[in-house]
Structure 1
Amino acid sequence: MNRNTQSPPSQSIPTTNNLLDPMIVTELQNSVLHKDEVISQLLNRVQAMELQIQNHTSTKKKAHSKKGTSTRNTSYHFSKNQGEKEHSQFQSPKSRSFSLDQKAKIRKIVRKKNSDSSSRKSPLQMVGNDYPAGYEHTKDAFYIHIKLLWGLIEKNAVPSAPDPSQLNEFYQRFSTPDQIESALANNGPALVPVDTVQTLRNARQKRTKVGKYFIHLSEFSIIYVRSSLSKLGIRTWAPNLYEQPDSLYNEACRISALKTFRQLVVGGTYQFMNVNQSYINDLGLLTKSYDHYVHFYFYNIFNKEQVENGKHRKDNDRRALQESRTKLRDLRYRFAISQNFPKRYIRVLKPIQAHSDEEYVESKEVYVVRKLPFRSQSANTFIRKLDEAIKKTHAADGRHSKRRHRIRIKNPPITLFPKAPKGLPLDFYDVEWFNSKLPAQRKNLADVGSIAFLRDPTASLEFKSPDEKMGDSKFTDKNWDDATKDYDLNFLVSVEYDSDDESSEGTESDYGESIEMETSDEEEEEYGNPNNENDKMESVKGKARETYSEYDEDEEAMEIETSGRAGYYGGLTEEEWDQWQ
């Protein structure tokens, strides 16, 4: 089409714009209103979030300020009303947000998160974040299966190295992982007789306790595991921890463990453990779990035993004693709070180090209480009185005690945890033990300004003595001198002297006092020493031109009238002097 035949744009555009102007304006207004509504909603949300953050921050600041105030208060005043206010947080749910059990769970979660965030000790190690949700029961079942194969069903069992002859036979038969996979196929031949396989030999048709679980293996499960190992020529399933995790022999142990575990799960052997079937086919996750458990966890145990025989058992026993000690502390501490004991008693019971551990005597089936060398006899008596009170209270309430049977003997063994708690009242610590420490250690060890126990600790927790009903401050003021007379507190005196010397150094001044000037020997020879009463001048006759007389302390003899006329220099009389003049 010819461009000249087209109508000029200036003739049609104004008409079109005039028709669309109201519609465009309406749409623009609607869009602006919609945007205003969206913006207002966003502003409301932002304001709500800011208000929530401010409230949360102010709550944390208040809690922090309260905590700081309580920690800065070093005077332990205690009265009945104050005790009810101070310890009401352990009684009413309104004044506390979590119970002691909840706090323990929170601490456990925090420790777990901290451990997860820490650096790995090995590439084979798995931490909490590496395990997906719902995998816990499957993991536990897999670990129990590994223990059954390895024969580590006893408590504190330590893995052993495989038989060298078994290793030699295996490496003569296999050279690639594909050969291992082919040997484990259903049609693979048995390289060694099934009867010679030692794994699960004693697990036939009986319940086997592994950890806290009782495992019942059926005859089919046992035969399947033993026949699978016979196809690999393995008589005793045992990974070689001297070799690398990816060695051919260790690869055979890994493949056999995964294959037999999956088969036993399908057969229902671990059904009671609520195994999640969705993870059975996740070979990558199962392989990582295997490497962590075998080549990290048990590898560390194996190495410790190589350095020190029985180290694994010692560590487990120590860990169990510490857990028992913590439970004992929790029992006593909660009882003291529930009974609204004085604050000085609660201070003594709070540290775990203040409580003794025990030693199990298998022949008597009892636990012997170990001795804490740093704990005084008064503290020991108080603890015994507390245990008796707990026992009586539980019996009166009809509660069955689950505590261990702990006995005290005359000469008990020393504790495995000799570290003493710090900051407790002075009479908590044994006198001889305390006095044997260095002054700096004694200074930083105890709260020497407070005491906790009665003069007669056998009367503790009876609340018949007026002293036991006193607040901490009044109790300390009344009984401190008598309770601390045998303790060596000389470091307090030295500190006081030092503070006096330091304070006097900055306040000494010469203003208003005489200043002693140092004189040389020549000045002393010239002027003499006027303060020396012993240095009296002795006049010798003939040594001076004047006539002289010696007088005693008679003042009259020194008067001028009794001495005649005065003489002048050279021995001249007054008349002779006048004539000479």
Structure 2
Amino acid sequence: MSGKHSSSKRRRSNSSANEPSSRSQKKSRGSGSASTSKSKGKGKGKGKGKGKKRGYGMSTKEVKEKKATGTQGAVRLHCRIMWGLFAQNSIPPPVLPATMAAFNTRFSRDDDVDISAHIENLIENAMPAGEKALAAVVDVQTKALLGRGQIALDTRRMEETHLQLIFNTIARAGLDRWAPDLFGPPESSYNVLHKQIALSTFQSVAKSFGYTHMKVNLNNLSNFNLLSKLYDSFVYNYMTEIARKEATSQGRVGREQMKAVVRNHRVTLADSRSQYLRNQGYRSELVQLAEDPDAHSDDELIPNVSPAKYAIYDKPGRSSLLCGLFRYADGRAKSHDQRSGVREMRTREEPDPSAGPSPWFKRHPENVPIDYFTPDYWNQELTVREKVEYMNNGIVLPLEAHCHSLNSIAEWKSLSTDEFMKKFGNDKLALYNMPTEDELARLAEMDDEEEEDEVDEDLMDEDEESGFWFR
């Protein structure tokens, strides 16, 4: 294949059925592309319909319109404190049959009990706290002290008297612990009692400025309908979904939470590194690459190490030259943070080869330039179809010989695409074996054949739906 620059766009190309890709539909980076792909994509285009939305969700837009963002966070914290759940991946406990039986004995459906008035009376007489409530408060304070996340931190800011009011109300209501029945009807007497305890104690604590650090809108406290919707959204939408996931697959919630943490770490890296490259006047194509979180390596907290350090996973196929530039950007950003007195970046350890690649994110990043990959990985590991996905995305770095000093970097870091390719890029591009015209033609033929088969299948489906076979 020719190594000349082309401004042509790639056509669609299919991706793994298990890992759908949209990279072929994105705009080409356009620097030093190898050739235009003739391969068309597969894909039936028969998407599954969206699942029905649960009735207890509350949109972010609605919360903002009610000026209740701080109140929402405080309601969630209040429920977590009563539950004793101080991590994002904590699983709400199931309701034991003995607990439900004890409740039914105390609150018979035949009893004419005004639960709201009953709870208000309990709150008025909640102090001084009994022995059971005091023990619950100590347990909450201990767990919050040992916790590391934001939930634990916010809990540590709670006044002890407010915690005593919460747990003495729970105890005086005859409950061993606060534990809504997430899989039961929200309107059951059991769940109504839990909701009333939660919202009434929340109002009392918030009115006493117990959630000032959460920026509660005090005007929301008299709007019981709003508080009820915030409660239902958290308990019967968010937490119920967590319980459902864990019941389906043990450990799933923890895995998903860890994956989200790892992903957020990469987003932070992308922001820091791209900002440094932008501020230093590097080529826009390189800045664009650094902005992609998927171009950066995963890391995980090393357990039982103080101060905290994070182990870096290997990033298969990624250019060591690109990795070196990213690490250099980290060092410069850290120095800047120290001078500015802002919070420094996390301390990351070098990859341990024995650890292997990340268990969390294994796909190649989408729409990255050709030289994101090492020449060996490109030439020996990527399939022709995979190369088609990247072959028009160009070159962003020169050969390693031009990256050994700030003076040599200054020669290319701010060049236009055409100038860069003439002086540096084409030499780098020559190391990468591009798909041949014959290979591209064969891929296009295969895709055309598959599209024809799909059209035939669609026609068959239409005939069946119209009753063709019964004529």
**Alignment TM-score, normalising by the size of structure 2:** 0.70
1-structure distance, mates of 2:161, 2:341 = 46
1:149 aligns with 2:82: yes
Q: 1:376 pairs with 319, 336, 346, which one?
A: 319
Please state how far the C-alpha of 1:368 moved relative to its aligned partner.
1.8
Counterpart residue number, 1:140: 73
**Equivalent residue letter for 2:309:** V
1:176-575 paired onto structure 2 within 5 Å? 176=109, 178-179=112-113, 181=115, 183-184=118-119, 186=121, 194-196=130-132, 199-203=136-140, 210-218=151-159, 220-364=161-305, 365-391=308-334, 402-411=344-353, 412-415=355-358, 416-434=360-378, 435-447=380-392, 450=395, 452-456=397-401, 458-459=403-404, 461-463=406-408, 471-477=416-422, 479=424, 482-484=427-429, 486-492=431-437, 494-495=439-440
Q: Which has the larger radius of gyration?
A: 1
1:261-290 alpha-carbon deviations (Å, 9 max, x no partner): 222233443344443333323222221211
**Equivalent residue letter for 1:427:** D
Q: Percent identity?
A: 21
1-structure distance, mates of 2:299, 2:200 = 45
| Native 8 Å contact 1:385 1:458 kept in 2 | no
- Range 198-207 or range 131-140, more displaced: 198-207
Please state how far the C-alpha of 1:334 moved relative to its aligned partner.
1.7
Between 1 and 2, higher relative CO (CA 8 Å, sep ≥ 6) is seen in 2
| Native 8 Å contact 2:86 2:144 kept in 1 | no
Please state how far the C-alpha of 1:495 moved relative to its aligned partner.
4.5
1-structure distance, mates of 2:403, 2:276 = 19
1:351-394 alpha-carbon deviations (Å, 9 max, x no partner): 22212221211233311222211312332233334434445666
Counterpart residue number, 1:172: 105
Please state how far the C-alpha of 1:238 moved relative to its aligned partner.
0.4
Q: 2:58 pairs with 109, 118, 126, which one?
A: 126
Compared with structure 1, are the counterparts of its residues 443 and 257 closer, same or farther at alpha carbon in structure 2 (3 Å cutoff)?
A: same
- Residue 241 of structure 1 aligns to a residue whose secondary structure is coil
**Equivalent residue letter for 2:106:** R
2-structure distance, mates of 1:262, 1:180 = 19
- Residue 359 of structure 1 aligns to a residue whose secondary structure is strand
Please state how far the C-alpha of 1:486 moved relative to its aligned partner.
4.9
2-structure distance, mates of 1:407, 1:220 = 44
Please state how far the C-alpha of 1:296 moved relative to its aligned partner.
0.8
Please state how far the C-alpha of 1:461 moved relative to its aligned partner.
4.4
- Residue 239 of structure 2 aligns to a residue whose secondary structure is helix
Counterpart residue number, 2:465: none
Counterpart residue number, 2:20: none
- Residue 384 of structure 1 aligns to a residue whose secondary structure is helix
| Native 8 Å contact 2:397 2:425 kept in 1 | no
2-structure distance, mates of 1:281, 1:330 = 41
- Residue 213 of structure 1 aligns to a residue whose secondary structure is helix
**Equivalent residue letter for 1:202:** D
- Residue 436 of structure 2 aligns to a residue whose secondary structure is helix
Counterpart residue number, 2:451: none
- Residue 456 of structure 1 aligns to a residue whose secondary structure is helix
Please state how far the C-alpha of 1:466 moved relative to its aligned partner.
5.3
Compared with structure 1, are the counterparts of its residues 160 and 457 closer, same or farther at alpha carbon in structure 2 (3 Å cutoff)?
A: farther
2-structure distance, mates of 1:455, 1:272 = 52
**Alignment TM-score, normalising by the size of structure 1:** 0.58
2-structure distance, mates of 1:263, 1:391 = 45
Compared with structure 1, are the counterparts of its residues 446 and 423 closer, same or farther at alpha carbon in structure 2 (3 Å cutoff)?
A: farther
1-structure distance, mates of 2:341, 2:351 = 27
1-structure distance, mates of 2:438, 2:290 = 30
| Structure 2 stretches lacking a partner, 5+ long | 1-26, 34-49, 445-471
Compared with structure 1, are the counterparts of its residues 492 and 461 closer, same or farther at alpha carbon in structure 2 (3 Å cutoff)?
A: farther
Compared with structure 1, are the counterparts of its residues 286 and 422 closer, same or farther at alpha carbon in structure 2 (3 Å cutoff)?
A: closer
Compared with structure 1, are the counterparts of its residues 461 and 362 closer, same or farther at alpha carbon in structure 2 (3 Å cutoff)?
A: farther
**Equivalent residue letter for 1:404:** R
Counterpart residue number, 1:162: 95
Aligned residues: 386
Aligned CA-pair RMSD = 3.8
1:279-327 alpha-carbon deviations (Å, 9 max, x no partner): 3232222212111111111000111111222222222222222222112
- Residue 368 of structure 1 aligns to a residue whose secondary structure is strand
1:540-567 alpha-carbon deviations (Å, 9 max, x no partner): xxxxxxxxxxxxxxxxxxxxxxxxxxxx
| Native 8 Å contact 2:28 2:367 kept in 1 | no
| Native 8 Å contact 1:454 1:467 kept in 2 | no
Compared with structure 1, are the counterparts of its residues 186 and 352 closer, same or farther at alpha carbon in structure 2 (3 Å cutoff)?
A: closer
Compared with structure 1, are the counterparts of its residues 301 and 422 closer, same or farther at alpha carbon in structure 2 (3 Å cutoff)?
A: closer
1:100-122 alpha-carbon deviations (Å, 9 max, x no partner): xxxxxxxxxxxxxxxxxx99721
| Native 8 Å contact 2:203 2:221 kept in 1 | yes
2-structure distance, mates of 1:492, 1:196 = 78
- Residue 346 of structure 1 aligns to a residue whose secondary structure is helix
Compared with structure 1, are the counterparts of its residues 387 and 157 closer, same or farther at alpha carbon in structure 2 (3 Å cutoff)?
A: same
2-structure distance, mates of 1:369, 1:331 = 17
Counterpart residue number, 1:552: none
- Residue 322 of structure 1 aligns to a residue whose secondary structure is helix
Please state how far the C-alpha of 1:413 moved relative to its aligned partner.
3.5
**Equivalent residue letter for 1:380:** C
- Residue 105 of structure 2 aligns to a residue whose secondary structure is helix
| Native 8 Å contact 1:325 1:356 kept in 2 | yes
1-structure distance, mates of 2:443, 2:164 = 83
2-structure distance, mates of 1:166, 1:470 = 71
